[in-house]
Structure 1
Amino acid sequence: MIAKLDLEEIKNYMIDLAKKGGIMMKSVNPSVDDSCEKNNSADRVTATDKAIEAMVKSGMAIKYPDIEFLGEETFKDGQKLTDEPTLVCDPIDGTLNFIHGFPNYAISLALTVCKAPIIGVVYNPARGDLFTAIKGRGAFLTRWDGTESALPIRPQADPINKLASCLCALEYGNDRQSHKWELRTHMVDRLLSKNGGMAHSLRSSGSAALDFCYVAAGWLDIFWEGGCWIWDVAAGFVIAQEAGGIVVGANPGDWNPSLEGRSYFAVRGAASGQREVVEEVWELMGDRRFTFNS
């Protein structure tokens, strides 16, 4: 199935769509008052989210009518990823950042085949950072001035010695009262405390897609997350892998997570220590686990 696809051509078209989405984001001045609640006040959507997804969906339908589409804003309950080539779209990952003017948000586009990502494109128009990857062909960062760098940024990735040497990322999400909230706040303490991992520090930048890309770049050592959806992570998943990183599940023992499993743990490329730091983080969870109804 993959052999019949011109992956370079598709990637370049996805980049064109991502940059059009970036222009749409930069052309508006959103605020909290302009957005609508989805699940609660911490889960919001803007007209720009919907307009960008509509643009991407129609563009793909015209150029590649045989490629299926799965998007955040048009997702229907029960809809599942198939084995067929599918464009997975998050029009704005980091909508809260977008409406507050915090420059860490992105359009995230992935092409999947047989339920696995083979192309990833993540574009942050506020910084002009474009992260891309094709399965088996490496991952790259193109800056606002056109400068392209292979990922990770450091060509010789340092070993990961222990969690105590790591800069970590975790997102809080919009679920602020269930077991998932309790587990996240538990892990903040366990990752940072002297009696836990004593990690260098913890970042929560508001975009899972960009967290994956920052792991790919080597700017973050790990990103541990439960609760995201496929559109949040599909592009970053392949970008991190193509930069030498590994992606496992947030729950202990999940060495081969599915894209739709909603549990993810990315570790940057390293000469050694990737699996060891995974097991160190898993141990900090104790008996707690992420569970999801869908």
Structure 2
Amino acid sequence: MKMSNYFKVLILCLLAVASTQAQLQLGFYTYSCPSAEQIIQNFVHEHIHNAPSLAATLIRMHFHDCFVRWCWFETLECASFKGCDASILLNSTNKQAEKDAPPNLTVRGFDFIDRIKSLVEAECPGVVSCADIIALSARDSIAATGGPYWKVPTGRRDGVISNLVEARNSIPAPFHNITVLQTLFGNQGLDLKDLVLLSGAHTIGISLCTSFSNRLYNFTGKGDQDPSLDSEYAENLKTFKCKNINDNTTIVEMDPGSRKTFDLSYYNQVVKRRGLFESDSALLNNPVTKALVTQLLHGSLENFYAEFAKSIEKMGQIKVKTGSQGEIRKHCAFVNS
């Protein structure tokens, strides 16, 4: 029996997606734009110390960009698979884009990326993708503020589709439990170890109260508090930070007292039941993730950096476009006309 066209296209698409990852390479712009990576690094180093919190938001942007997936099977066009393709940067047009999805409403740094893009375009018009700029600036900002350094093979091309619904459905949320987190990470070819390590980026993050205030005031809809959250910590948050459930302006550190340092302190908070989000607490609700947290705490900072680097390098290659796929946008917020 002949295989249907649907499944033929599906297999071809999956093979194409797998092959694109191998086409990324270190120093991709060595001949086409030899100064590209230095331009990006110089800009980051020049400005990140004036706004060190951008390191957290740029790595979050990279994460949110890579986690969105899409394939329009109705027209059998698997070429529109999306991953790390800078689709998070596109503005909404006749359809709402990822940028306007609830998980991305608090993402910042778009202007920062645009400024880098303008510098690179002035040097090498139409050569360096917005997707590579996101990946490189995330790495450079973390390294510039004292965090880990990792390899960023380049050659990504930019996508032309950005869909609010896909971002809403694909990006892990603060309220997700371990089962949902495992599924969403698994959808992207990431495992539980990657989940634990990439969650470690919360060591430099901040959050608005509304992202977790239900844990303080209305966890099950009965005006109760999340029992998995340390009671002393919860009381402190209610007294000094999030004084009501609707507070959407107060900022809270994800890793109190250590949010400017990329270290193991976040995992200490998790073990003490002081992880700010339900997704942080969820790491204790699976024997594998719990054991991994313990292993990291018993290891060295250097080991954490090395393991984190492996996971984020892996994440940065999710469903990338290379070769003739996608395009090199002239402006990161718009597809080329």
Both proteins in one fold, TM over 0.5: no
- TM-score, length of structure 2 as denominator length: 0.28
More strand by share: 1
Which structure has the greater CA radius of gyration? 2
Greater RCO, CA 8 A, separation 6+: 2
More helix by share: 2
